[in-house]
Structure 1
Amino acid sequence: MASQENKFVRIIIIVTTISAAIMELIDTSIINVALNNISGTLGATLEDASWVVTAYAIANVIIIPLTGFLSRYFGRKNYYLASIIIFTIASYLCGTSSSLWMLVLWRFVQGLGGGALLSVSQGILFEQFKPEEKGIAGGIFGMGIVMGPTIGPVLGGYIVDNYHWALIFNINIPIGIAAALLTWKFVDKQPEEYHINRKAIPVDYTGILSLSIGVGALQYVLEKGQSEDWFQDETIRYLTAAAVIGIGLFIYWELHTKNPAINLRVMKSINLIGSNVLTFVCGFGLFGSVYLFPVMVQRVMGYTPTEAGLSMIPGALITIFAMPFIGAGLGKGVKPIYFVCAGFILFILHGYTSSLATAEAGKWWFTLTQVCRGLGTGFLTVPLLSQAVVGLEPKDMPYGISLNNMFRSLGGAFGIAIMNTYSTNRFATHRNDLISNLQGNNPLMNSRLESITHGMMAKGINPIAAKQAAVGNLDFIVSGQAQMQAYLDGFLLISVFFICTIPFMLLLSNQDMDAETRAKVAAAAH
């Protein structure tokens, strides 16, 4: 009877942790297909609406590397339960937001709560399995972390097409309540949690505060620099200074303080530096392309949010199918660098092929590009994490893994911000170029205007109004073409970023890991 009860508790804990992790991951991608709808409903520009995505990413970047410290300070169960509650309450407040900036604020709070739902869930889940069953645990959790981004765009598209966008956040509420209750009832405290002496645990306030200020200020500069004319704006100048000082102080302090919140000393490993740079670019390409694609196909090609979400499924499915083979290859001793090289090639192909699309491109064209992205993601995610800890002492591996995850999240935040700014800038450039060709003596333009004008007059519109409508119609066409070219330039920029960072592969170590270390890394990766 006791055995059956233990199995029941084990199943409950597995379901709870996987559900919490999937819920957090869904929220990183579900919002992308709804940005167009949110910007219209709340009376904001798409560029401002992208803050809804970026605020969540910034909070994740700040909180993920701090989860180890927060778990020790508050106790893992207490911190995990509090994070679920914060995430759930913030989800409700996101759904009730009446302005864009209120939504951005609660998305940031939601991201702070969501940071633990992934990393702490992993530790709780793995405790339910024996050492020889860690591979099974990794497979279960790995499938969960891939399912989240897969479900997100499709679910988001369906909700936006059929209901109010607020439901995107409200669906978290029953899941969050259930997860909180099950965690409170069934997740046990660790032995050391009964004797936590918080006074004996030093809090690195300087490191935490400088990291928050530096990353937050830098993200604002990236997001608003283009619209505020960069350093012509006083706020941008002040926040650029705050970003430089904050990040500089954070690096200096973490390297010199006795008890750092994030141990940057492990970065003395050249291999880890190379791995983190490549991981940053991987996050940049993945999140940047996932941001660009649904916006482009909705605004330029007329896709519904549901169609935009469904178009992203091939990439996610190919990742799910590829990951077991990649994990098996790493387990058998295949060097991660081989997967990394293949992943870079696939991402370069994804960006370049996407940049060749036209407004008339069919769904099969984008299926090919999404497959390249999906395979590239699979070939880079776990292998780069495996490569990052090569050569590190066992005691330093958790810090190496934490930093690698932080660089991936930071790359994603940069990717969204830079794609947003870059596409806005390129839109203005392409529009000006196109308009410069529309001179009054251009026979093709005059012929097009006459054709549109006659068509409207045939519908009973008077000649003056028809002429004005024709000019407006032509302006709409020009704006659409400029917008399409701007998004395509964004995809090409992703390829350029990957190409420019290829030399960092030379920093990667050729040293192999033993079987035990590979098992630890595989577990931590999931």
Structure 2
Amino acid sequence: MRRPETMNDAFEASRSNKWAIALTVMLPTFIEVMDTSVVNVSLPHIQGSLNAGVDESTWVLTSYLVSNAIIIPITGWLASVFGRKRYLIFSVVIFTLSSLFCGAAPSLEVLILCRILQGLGGGGLQPLSQAILLESFSPKEHGIAMAAFGMGVVLAPILGPVLGGWITDNWSWRWVFYINLPAGILALFLVVLFIQDPPYLRRTQFRMDTWGLFLLTVGLGCLQIVLDKGEREDWFNSHFIVVLSIAAALSLVLFVIVELNAEHPVVNLRVLRDRSFAAGTVIMFFGFFCLFGSIVLLPLYLQQLMGYTALWAGLVLGPGGFASFFIMPVVGVLLKKGVKPRYLLSIGLVATALSTWMMSGFNLEADFYTVAWPRFVQGFGMGLFFVPLAAAAYVNISREEMGNASGIFNLLRNLGGSFGVAFSTTVLSQRSQLHQTHLSEYITPFNAAFQTYFDQVCSWLQMNQPQASCPTGGLVMTYREVLRQASMLAFNDTFLLLAIATLSLLALMPLLKKSARPFGWKEGVH
């Protein structure tokens, strides 16, 4: 057993390699976050290869999201029980091996089981990475640390569909999982080499909060399934969704009650007493709600209405990722120089709201530049959103609470994205039906504009497709155009709602109180 001063010396020595540590923790985190979206475009290939139905194949996504969501908030507790380095090594090993097994899965059942294991292994990587980064950098450099973390978290889900589509088209869906192997092996080597346990984590004894863990598992598991399956099951018109929603609500309410009264909670919710951290988690939830809501809409618009391939739709998202990649380090430097996070965060929210408002003006004749430019503005805004928000939220959190706080923060970020996707797809569907009903009212022989359009369609059919007789052929083409126009108006409405929601987050800025220990505060011994 090493002496405490020896452990302290080893830990402080490891902190001197902060950029090596940053690379070490960001490599597996980037791959893990990307895995939440990289498989989406491969689902049709998986469905055909494993002879599965559409609903069955979507469990490849849902199983990963559920297990991932359950692990994230208890990461701090697991790290304190088993040791942060040991738990990080375990997570990387499980994630890497399960990726291998996913690629080699002979059936859908085996693939889903392996995806559950992959989510359990990968869930801890996000909060562990954030906690280690914040601990390895001084409080004055927390902005730079969050810039490094944010580049991976924001870029990964954007590049995921592009990379997944390219790999699936050129190789096989199995290689979507196999590409994790070299990254996982390299990450394991770097963790062993550079990561050291903080001495205080080794003093925590194992105490199982059985009820808290059970309620958290049931609550988040049911909630994630509801969000993932709700639109497909027609929400509360489905008995399945109603039962899961009730189970999720009851479990999460009881979980909060149990954790606030437990002597050794699996998730210490008392950290939310810090106003800045509590406000930061709320802003993060709604910020990613709006971000992922718009990100899921844009490829749908491009592929369904504009005829883009999956690869080209992914390329439209690219400028936003590059904008975030370049602005985040700049934001980190500005924070280090003393610029207040609230100012940068406000600018980021305005830019993000502006970009989504620009998307609400899309039409059926938009070119590549027209749709790519708002994504660039959005990426710029998200770079000014994520980094200062994380820096402001964590500024009063002690090192001992960093792992627990990071788990809560990342859980709210992920849940915000899930809620945003569910909200956007639901609003899109409902508004599309509404506009379709409204536009159909004008399809009548007594409408001069319709009659003129119908005559033009029939003339075009006679010249180009004489086998498609009028009036049947003309009515079919007219109905298709009504559907396209209704969908376009629905996209406009949904983007506009997200823009308003993003801008309204400015009202929460006063809740981010001034730090009790400003940037540049020298961290002492706790």
| Same fold by TM-score greater than 0.5 | yes
Of residues 340, 358, 366 in structure 1, which corresponds to 2:345? 340
Query: What is the identity, as a one-letter code, of the residue corresponding to 2:180?
Result: N
Find the aligned partners of 1:447 and 1:397 in 2 and give their Cα distance: 67
Counterpart secondary structure, 1:69:
helix
Q: Quick check: 1:491 aligned with 2:499?
A: no
Contact 1:58 1:413 in 2 (8 A): no
Aligned equivalents of 2:400, 2:86: Cα separation in 1: 25
The answer for the alignment partner of 1:524 in structure 2 is none
What is aligned with 1:313? 318
1:411 alignment partner in structure 2: 416
1:443-522 equivalences under 5 Å are 443-458=448-463, 461-462=466-467, 464=469, 467-511=471-515, 513-517=517-521
- Cα deviations by residue, 1:435-466 (Å, 9 ceiling, x for unpaired): 232234444434444444444444564465x6
Query: Who is 1:67 aligned against?
Result: 75
Instruction: Name the aligned partner's letter for residue 488 of structure 1.
Output: N
- Residue 410 of structure 1, CA deviation: 1.5
SS in 2 for 1:430: helix
Deviation at 1:338, TM superposition (A): 0.6
Question: Is the 1:30–1:152 Cα contact (8 Å) retained in structure 2?
Answer: yes
> Cα distance 1:268–1:144, how it changes in 2: closer, same or farther (>3 A)?
closer
Q: Which deviates more from structure 2 when the two are superposed, residues 71-80 or residues 251-260? A: 71-80
Q: CA deviation at 1:358?
A: 0.6
The whole-number CA distance in structure 2 between the counterparts of 1:20 and 1:37 is: 26
Give the counterpart letter for 1:158 in structure 2.
W
After superposition, the Cα gap between the structure-2 partners of 1:161 and 1:449, relative to the gap in structure 1 and judged at 3 Å, is farther
CA contact (8 A) 1:254 1:263 kept: yes
- How many residues align? The count is 508
Q: CA deviation at 1:398?
A: 4.4
CA distances 1:48-85 after superposition (whole Å, capped 9, x unpaired): 97766565444433222222222233343443333223
Q: In the alignment, does 2:330 pair up with 1:330?
A: no
Q: Is the 8 A contact 2:69 2:221 kept in 1?
A: no
Contact preservation (8 Å) 2:222, 2:245: yes
> Cα gap change, 1:152/1:409 in structure 2, threshold over 3 Å: closer, same or farther?
same
How far residue 248 of structure 1 moved from its aligned partner, in angstroms, is 0.1
Asked if the contact 1:33/1:294 (under 8 Å) is kept, the reply is no
2:428 aligns with one of 416, 419, 423: 423
Q: Provide the C-alpha distance between the structure 2 equivalents of 1:172 and 1:401, rounded to a whole number of angstroms.
A: 24
CA distance in 1, matches of 2:198, 2:381: 41
Aligned to 2:156: 148
1:31 CA displacement:
4.2
Superposition pairs for residues 91-106 of structure 1, below 5 Å?
A: 91-92=99-100, 94-95=102-103, 106=114
Q: 1:352 to 1:147 in 2, by over 3 A?
A: closer
Please, which of 167, 175, 178 is the counterpart of residue 183 of structure 2? 175
Query: Are the equivalent residues in 1 in contact too, given 2:275–2:511 (CA < 8 A)?
Result: yes
1:84 aligns with 2:95: no
Q: Give secondary structure in 2 for the equivalent of 1:312.
A: helix
| Alignment gaps of 5+ in structure 1 | 1-5, 521-526
Identical pairs, percent: 35
User: 1:352 Cα deviation (Å)?
Assistant: 1.1
- What code does the residue aligned with 1:60 have? N
How many Å separate the matches in 2 of 1:147 and 1:501?
Answer: 23
Unaligned runs of 5+ in 2: 1-13
Q: Would the alpha carbon gap of residues 280 and 122 (structure 1) be closer, same or farther in structure 2, given more than 3 Å must change?
A: closer
1:204-251 Cα offsets, whole Å, 9 max, x none, are: 222222122222222333444444444343222222211111110111
Does the residue aligned with 1:509 lie in a helix, a strand or coil? coil
| C-alpha distance in structure 1 between counterparts of 2:518 and 2:369, whole Å | 43
Letter in 1 for 2:260: L
The alpha-carbon deviation at position 254 of structure 1 amounts to 0.9
Amino acid of the residue matched to residue 156 of structure 1? Answer: G
1:313-350 per-position Cα deviation (integer Å, ceiling 9, x unaligned): 21111112211221122112221111121111112112
Q: Deviation of residue 274 (structure 1)? A: 1.9
Residue 94 of structure 1 and its aligned partner are, at CA, apart by 4.5
CA deviations 1:403-439 (Å, max 9, x no partner) are 2222112211211222222222222222222223223
Describe the superposition over 1:173-200 as per-residue Cα deviations: whole angstroms up to 9, x where unpaired.
34335545x369756774979x9899x4
1:97/1:103 contact within 8 Å kept: yes
| Correspondence 1:204 to 2:212 | no
Q: Aligned Cα RMSD in Å?
A: 4.0
In the aligned structure 2, how far is the partner of 1:140 from the partner of 1:73?
27
The AA in structure 1 aligned to 2:506 is I
Letter in 1 for 2:491: Y
In structure 2, the CA distance between the partners of 1:185 and 1:391, relative to structure 1 (3 Å rule), is closer
Asked if the contact 1:222–1:421 (Cα under 8 Å) also holds between the matched residues in 2, the reply is no
Specify which of 270, 273, 291 is matched with residue 275 of structure 2. 270
CA contact (8 A) 2:144 2:336 kept: no
Distance of aligned partners of 1:58 and 1:241 in 2 relative to their CA distance in 1, 3 Å threshold: same
